[in-house]
């Protein structure tokens, strides 16, 4: 097969601040594979968790190496391709781009959207959250107004774990809660910004204010403290940064209620499916999340999203210059279309 890749830069409507820093712009990778006159598309977006970093530069370097490995193979050799790329240490986000492109190719080859190829039901897709980043209370209030006007969101994910401490978290959360209609569900993501003592206190405080669950309350590397939090917290605990792939799930089963999978973090749709099945076997719930993904990678996730309990697929909604068009927002839900494969097109081709 032939392989092409190029970068594209996207800018956020609202810069997003979490416990680890602020993002306003990212440069992602668009990867295409072609065989038998059919082209499949994938996306890699950079991300960083602790010492684990996948920069745009690292993804570009790995894409150059991967091209030589892929060209002798056919898109139907997906298992072999995944093994080969892992053997050569390809970053997870690039694994995701390749795997998504291969699935897109397959759907186009058989003339079916992926959700239909897998026998899934779009009616099972739950509403996505939209994210309110760490901000002073008055700015957070405005963000709630902005997002509700833009999306008519059914649920908000409130980023806490402020470097200024839990009192700043409480002030911001109260502002968000006061600005949100009672019908809007509130969820919290601390991105590992709390220690155990603060996490216990915040989970109790947030439970009194109707929060549905708390995501990644403790930093990656503090998984040994999760059983104590699990015992003391009145709220369900989900992990994100603590869970990369299906091999991580079993070790977390006795200390969390669910895991957040992301295409970039796990390596694509193939591994995402494994995470879903492993989590279910362990009695855990599943959430799908995202980084600074465009509509290309978000749409890939939506095809599998009927299997998810919770969704946080909103990054493309915050882009001023998304170059792709795919899944659409319908009554708070991100829904894939009926086109073959991913059903993603370039925006300039739809004008």
For residue 51, what pLDDT is reported?
80
Q: Enumerate residues 6+ apart whose C-beta is below 8 A from 64.
A: none
For residue 192, what pLDDT is reported?
96
Contacts 24+ apart (CB under 8 A), 119-123: 120/303, 120/304, 120/306, 120/307, 121/306, 122/306, 122/335, 122/336, 123/306
DSSP state string for 12-64: EEEEEEETTEEEEEEEEEEEEEEETTEEEEEEE--EEETTEEE-HHHHHHHHH
| Cα Rg of the chain, angstroms | 20
Q: Residue-wise pLDDT tens for the chain (351 aa)? A: 999 999 999 999 988 888 778 899 999 999 999 999 999 999 999 999 878 899 999 999 999 999 999 999 999 999 999 999 999 999 999 999 999 999 999 999 999 999 999 999 999 999 999 999 999 999 999 999 999 999 999 999 999 999 999 999 999 999 999 999 999 999 999 999 999 999 999 999 999 999 999 999 999 999 999 999 999 999 999 999 999 999 999 999 999 999 999 999 999 999 999 999 999 999 999 999 999 999 999 999 999 999 999 999 999 999 999 999 999 999 999 999 999 999 999 999 987
Fold of 116-350: TIM Barrel (3.20.20)
> Residue ranges of the domains in the chain?
2-111, 116-350
Q: Angle at which helices 92-110 and 295-304 pack, to 10 degrees?
A: 70
Q: What is the dihedral of CA 100, 101, 102, 106, to 10 degrees?
A: 100
* Half-sphere exposure in the Cβ direction for 189 (13 Å, CA): 26
For residue 211, what pLDDT is reported?
98
Q: Enumerate residues 6+ apart whose C-beta is below 8 A from 164.
A: none
Could you give the C-alpha distances from 147 to 12, 82, 342, in angstroms and in order? 13, 38, 26
Widest pairwise Cα distance in the chain: 59
Q: Which two tokens stand for residue 118?
A: 């897998």
Highest CATH level, class, for 2-111: alpha beta
For residue 274, what pLDDT is reported?
98
């Amino acid at each position: 097969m032939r392989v092409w890749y190029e970068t594209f830069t996207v800018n956020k409507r609202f810069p997003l601040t979490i416990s680890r820093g602020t993002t306003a712009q990212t440069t992602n990778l668009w990867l295409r594979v072609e065989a038998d006159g059919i082209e499949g598309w994938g996306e890699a977006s950079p991300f960083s968790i602790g010492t684990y970093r996948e920069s745009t530069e690292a993804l570009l370097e790995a894409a150059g190496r991967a091209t030589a490995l892929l060209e002798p193979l056919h898109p139907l050799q997906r298992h072999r391709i995944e093994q080969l790329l892992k053997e050569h240490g390809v970053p997870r986000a690039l694994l995701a781009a390749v795997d998504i492109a291969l699935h897109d190719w397959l759907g186009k080859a058989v003339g079916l959207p992926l959700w239909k190829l897998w026998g899934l039901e779009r009616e099972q897709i739950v509403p996505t959250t939209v994210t309110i980043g760490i901000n002073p209370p008055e700015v957070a209030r405005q963000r709630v107004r902005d997002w509700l006007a833009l999306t008519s969101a059914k649920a908000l994910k409130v980023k806490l774990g402020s470097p200024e401490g839990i009192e700043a978290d409480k002030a911001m959360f109260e502002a968000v809660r006061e600005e949100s209609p009672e019908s809007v569900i509130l969820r919290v993501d601390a991105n590992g910004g709390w220690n155990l003592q603060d996490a216990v206190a915040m989970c109790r405080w947030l439970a009194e204010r109707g929060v549905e669950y708390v995501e990644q309350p403790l930093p990656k590397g503090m998984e040994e403290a999760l059983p104590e939090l699990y015992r003391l917290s009145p709220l369900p605990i989900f992990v994100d940064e603590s869970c990369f792939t299906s091999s991580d799930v079993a070790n977390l089963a006795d200390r969390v209620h669910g895991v957040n999978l992301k295409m970039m973090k796990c390596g694509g749709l193939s591994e995402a499916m494994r995470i879903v099945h492993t989590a279910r076997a362990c009695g855990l719930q599943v959430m799908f999340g995202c980084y600074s993904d465009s509509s290309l990678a978000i749409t890939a996730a939506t095809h599998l999203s009927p299997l998810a309990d919770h969704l946080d697929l909103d990054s493309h909604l915050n882009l001023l210059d998304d170059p792709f068009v795919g899944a659409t927002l319908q009554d708070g839900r991100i829904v894939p279309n009926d086109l073959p494969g991913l059903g993603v097109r370039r925006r300039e081709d739809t004008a």
